Structure 1
Amino acid sequence: MSEVTVAQLANVVGIPADLLMEQLADAGIQAKSPEDRISDDEKAKLLLHLRESHGKKKTSTVTAPSKVTLRRKTVSELRQPTSSGRSTLSRASAAPAKTVSVEVRKKRTYVKRTNVESDESKVKQAEEARRALDDQAKERAAIEAEVEARKAAEAAKRQEQEEAEKKAEEEEAAKLAAEAEAKRLAEEEAAREAAKEAKRQEELLKPETAAEPEPAVEAKPAAAEAKAEPSRGKKGRKDSRRDEKGFSDDKKADRKELHVAEGLRGKRKRKPGKQRRAAAAAASDAQHGFQRPTTPVVHEVKIPENITVADLAQRMTIKAAEVIKVLMKMGMMVTINQTLDRDTAILVVEEMGHVPVAQRDEDIEADLLSEEDDAHTQGEQVNRPPVVTIMGHVDHGKTSLLDYIRTSRVAAGEAGGITQHIGAYHVDTDKGTVSFLDTPGHAAFTAMRARGAKVTDIVILVVAADDGVMPQTKEAIQHAKAAEVPLIVAINKIDKEEANPDRVIQELSQEEVIPEDWGGDTMFVRVSAKTGAGIDDLLDAILLQAEVLELQAVEDGPATGSIVESSLDKGRGPVATVLVQSGTLNRGDMIVSGKEFGRVRAMFDEAGRSIKTAGPSIPVVVLGLSGTPEAGDDVRAVSDERRAREIAELRQDKQRSTRLAAQKAAKLDEMFTQMEEGETQTLNVIVKADVQGSVEALKESLVKTSTDEVKVRVVASGVGGINESDANLAVTSNAIIIGFNVRGDAGARRVVEEQGIDMRYYSIIYEIIDDVKKAISGMLSPEIREEIIGLAEVRDVFRNSKLGAIAGCMVLEGMVKRNNPIRVLRDNVVIYEGSLESLRRFKDDVNEVKSGMECGIGVKNYNDVQSGDQIEVFERTEIARTV
């Protein structure tokens, strides 16, 4: 229980201490002085005594009654009249009215006034006592808190004094150690100089005749002198520790590295106490624990274009606070995460005594990829399927040959019957697994064929037996030779009557492609994509060549590969076709390709089936990149998102700098050319296509069509439909818009109509090139131009077992005619071109349906129409050209 003194209780209650001493004595509580302590039980006893006595003494044993009760009784009469309803005669003869006596008793009690006041006083006194006890408890808690605070303050003051004394002792010890070390070094230097002088004098006084040389006197090293001396006791051990402290201070002051002496390497720290004192005593007689380096350590610091303070300090192997101090002296207030430019970083490095080395962007990218390269090169080499590229001239049967191998019908869906995209497939045949790359054969796709040759192992050159060697055939031979890959010639269409395979062999020999029968190293196989003749021989030749090449790759590890093709899908985002070259690509891997990066959200094979992994030589469609990478860019799986983002941003900055420099050079070149040759006409073009490869092919082909009088300049290009910003750019740059297998959205069409921009749609690439060439060269012969006459939107699709898919449409623009060709658009991209099979209004067949009306449309040979698609009706008209 807590106790308080009599004086404290008197102060809390608010009465003199002497009066409280008398009350305690009356209550039978012993208290001799105000400093005596009383317990809680004694306080309760005092309170009980005060309640009983109430401060007054009894004078007599007979007391008056405290209350008086009075009783009163009153009696009254109640007269009850007779009942009414009787006759007068009967009322006169009736008995008198009845009278009832009523007695009322009352009781009243009177209480003595002094007793009431006494009770109220007792209640008030109890409340005051309770408040006094509460105040006493609060006072006691305040006193205890004050005592605790005083104790804490005294402890903190003692600790501060001890730390100040310890710091003063350490500074004094460091000062004495530094003086002792300086004195010892001076003595050693003097001893060495004396020994050298004595030796020199001895050599001067030595006679020319051979005499026995006396042993040279050498100064004993400091360690040996220390070992020869007897133990110095407590003072010696203290001086040794001071010496070590001095060396530590010198290290901080001079920024020089300290090296542990050979004799003390690998020793563990001992516990404090006797073991520490024993170790200090032993160290006083042994070699010193640290050696000062002879010269400062200078680093070559690689400095990129921008670097943070923390990275700069890490490259100089110093603390970041030292770098911040130097920058503050230079007038710069920086933080540890602030970025410095290259010039400022070079000044800081030179100020710190190191050698700055400017680091190029290529070096930074190499450093970022160095760790990843180590992971990619490790692993066991396993056999992988060959990657075969099929090349050849237009309409020589490349895709048809591949169709027969993989039993599909790709060529039927290509516009104009020609392949205009790179297709990547892997085929599991009875002979083994083979990955095929089908490249376009038209001249505009030179770059695409070149990319195909770079990632391939074997090239199959398809030559039609009835056509012979053509320009693109020669070009394919050049690409194959440049890539240094083996070539297999497939002579196709041998089933035709006019086929002449011997003439093909003769023409190829003039291009230095010699068959094995003639002593060369090229395999020739005669095939027919229509009948399937020679297909097995071709597969045998492919697998035989792959076996000779001994194709191997690392299967277990991060994936590397190449972008075959990329496009922008409105529903799925950027879509890229990746050919894995080594490692395994898994769903969820973080990849970087060119200036784009992202996590693999989904993977599909060439048939559209979802897969989780893809090994070497397997082409897959990947979703999840931040944008559409350039076709031909490398693909690399990296460890984390941070590294992928750094590589992508570095490549973006590099590409931006290159583009700005090229634009500046083009403007200067254009200015000087116009000054020398007069003003040159320029045809500005905006190119939009469905895939990245087509964009590159169109840009290259259009630039090549330039003449001395007219220059073709591609202002902008991209993948996807034509939007409003493209139309606005065409207005500002006075350009024409070319859409290849894409269409303009509503905003773009509105700007085109308002501003009168020339926007043309194409589905075959050489029609674009021919139109541009004719326009430039002034060949204004009539041309066949397509004119869109109607546009209908699919609202719902009805399935019929006999008729197939019937699209319920609303005609938005123009009119739909039954006999005109149509195109099916999805997200402004052409997905099918054909004709109408039926056109109905309710149950009636009609020839045309105008704008604002509903109709049912059946698309011939196409059942994949979906709600939201658009059906475009056009007609080809012959018009006269005008400039």
Structure 2
Amino acid sequence: MAEVTVSQLAEVVGAPVERLLRQMKEAGLKHSAAEQVVSDEDKQTLLTYLKRSHGESADAPRKITLKRKTISTLKTGSGASKKTVNIEVRKKRTYVKRDPAELAAEAAAEEARQQEALEAEAAEVEAVAEVVEEAPVTEVVETTVETVAEVAEQTAEPETKEEPVAEEPVAEEAPAVETPAEEPAETVKEVAEAAPEAAEELKTEPEESAAIEIDPEVLRQRAILRRKEEEEKEKQRRAELLAKKKREEEARAEKEKRERDSAADAKGKGKKDDNRGPRHMREAPKNDDDSPRRRGSTKGRKSRDDFDDGFGDDRQGGRRRKKTLKLPEDAQRHGFQTPTDKIIYEVNISETITPTELASQMKVKAAEVIKELFKMGMMVTINQALDQETAQLVVEEMGHKVKLVSDTAVEEALEETLTSHGEGTLLPRAPVVTVMGHVDHGKTSLLDYIRSSRVASGEAGGITQHIGAYHVETGHGMITFLDTPGHAAFTAMRARGAKSTDIVILVVAADDGVMPQTEEAVAHARAAGVPLVVAINKMDKEAADPDRVKNELAAKDVIPEEWGGDTQFVPVSAHTGDGVSALLDAVLLQAELLELKAAADVPAQGLVIESRLDKGRGAVASILIQSGTLKQGDIVLAGQCYGRVRAMLDENGKPIDTAGPSIPVEILGLDGTPEAGDNFVVVENDKRAREVADFRQHRERENRIKRQQAAKLDRMFESMAAGERKTLNVLVKADVRGSLEAIQASLLDIGNEEVNVNIVSGGVGGLTETDVNLAMTAGAVMFGFNVRADSSARKLAENEGVDLRYYSVIYDLIDDVKQALSGMLSPEVREEIVGIAEVRDVFRSPKFGDIAGCMVVEGTVYRSKPIRVLRDDVVIYEGELESLRRFKDDASEVKNGLECGIGVKNYKDVRPGDKIEVFDVKEIARSL
């Protein structure tokens, strides 16, 4: 159709209407609505615009790669060994679009090269012309004659080249020699013959010889023709070489074919001659030089010496047999000789070593080492770690030398490398202050006021659950703060905070007083030898009593300065900000007394505060630099992890390039998440970092195996003594390493002699499908602390019925685990006596047997409850009632003071005076 609307055209080309209208507007068309008609001229205009815009676009691809894959089948073998092989052939072809500017540049360069060549030739021609002008007259004449002759030969037509040179006219082909006007033009032959006479005439008439000149253009044409002739000769030489090589290859192929035919004939002839007699009686074939060899004559063939390459090819039987190279006698002897004596090795023994490693160093099998240990009375496995003394005895028993090496040689080498940098220039640094105290006493709120932020409002449950590090610029100087959790489960975190700090701010609520975690913080600070500054918080409340806080802390040997002690007490309010300035002054005053200094011109060292696994960025470690300067690109070794610092961020998430002492930063680029509390250092190269990290991982693995073996042995004896314990298997994943450590420690503390918690696996990061499979195998409950499972893991857990729970507050997780363990406890069984009947007489009944006539003297006797028969207050039988009757009627119960008849089931020795005790068994649920 000739004319269509804009919407119809968009549907045909498969483009949105808005984009098509925008392109038409850019092309200069006046279409603005989808219902407007587009003519053929408009289409052509739009097409021209699009072609021009696409051709001029800089984003157009300059390289296109086409890939093609074909699969074919190849059948090999036959019969039972027939196989089918799939062959996949991949082809790739790349097309490159050359830039017009680049092509123009290449053309300009080629033109410049040609121009330079022409200028060089012109310079050469001018030099020749100068030489000719300066030469004597005789030489000028001779050179002119030669030049005319050569130009005539090169410029002649092909059909005239076979004719004599004397017949070619010189006037038309080479007008290079200018003669006087009165002299007629001469041929080349006449000029050559007349050259001596002309020279004589020129000697006598020098004024006439000046008229003879050589045109430079002729010389330039001569040089061009000579270069073309050389190129033609080179092409002809290459063609001859190729033809010669081709003829040689054809001759070689023909020769090999004749040799194969001769070999086949010789083989067939040998089979026919096999019946002639034994092989040693046959006559050897003649191989004289003048006799024909096998088939045909050797005439015209190359001799064996022509093909000699040092190994001497033998062509007996038509085959090319390679002769062995003759070597000297000493070189022909075998290189290996069986040792006559036992080889004694020097075995390096560290503090711990396995039998496998010992066997490897002694060049024996591990079974021999195990056998020697059995002889010594030690039952060990192949991978069990041996101490240094035991390993030394084994090596000496097997006849080898012992070399005791330190197990920390790698660590010592690292320490030597670090100390080689020197202490550097010591400069004053900012103090590192840790805020500690009981939960909900206002630690984070006080820090928020100092930082003018709102961290506490974003914490789950309103409590801090990991160490937060911040450095702030105050009017009193820069201070780095570490905020530690106050919950009981985070004891290890508080201990790390006390060890990595210079000053501890102990926050105590004025309305609450000293609490358990307050006492623990004081103990941690004393163990680390860190001075205390007490902040009495919540002074804005009506129930605030600072004297109570001072008295309770004085009882813990924390004496205020006004009482003669050495601890500063500062009343503050995190809500109103009262006393915060005084608190900062007290901190800086304490820092001045400590005279804190650090070097900034050495490689960085510090402490890992926290680490986590980020889905988009990988392993992220929060570190506190204690000395030196950390730069982006440094090689960092942190515990068992190492890597290059790819990016460095401050506490606000802003990228930075360097960080000095007392600055907390986050680094990216480690190969894993280091443990919280590990030391980090900057090393010189990847090799040293990898070596130390591998050593630490190996040592940790050995220690873990030792702990597991010891735990198995202890658990075996415990189970033998107290029976099998019930175990709750759990799998824990947390957001940061510190929270994971606190959760694992709290879960392992829960339990008693009947139930306990077994942590199947723990890690940092989200829950994956692998974790779900592990939980299915171990029958474990999955806990996610501030992390979530991905879609595949969640779907698998739902299909397999794996219990998956999420938590954001640690005490909620601990409470749920306690409830689960309480449900696993065996209920407590209690017996309650509900009635006692005294036997007065025994009656014989032919239908029911012996019936005891009783009087209920206490409580109520029930028919459905268990009983005991007591004689002289000693239990002689325990069972149940067979019948309970009052007079002639059956009764379900008989109360106190009434008579009844009781039949005891499966017991016939009831006597008067016995007591029948009726009791009830109640199960009471237990809890941890």
Q: What TM-score does the superposition give when structure 1 sets the normalisation length? A: 0.50
Q: What TM-score does the superposition give when structure 2 sets the normalisation length? A: 0.47
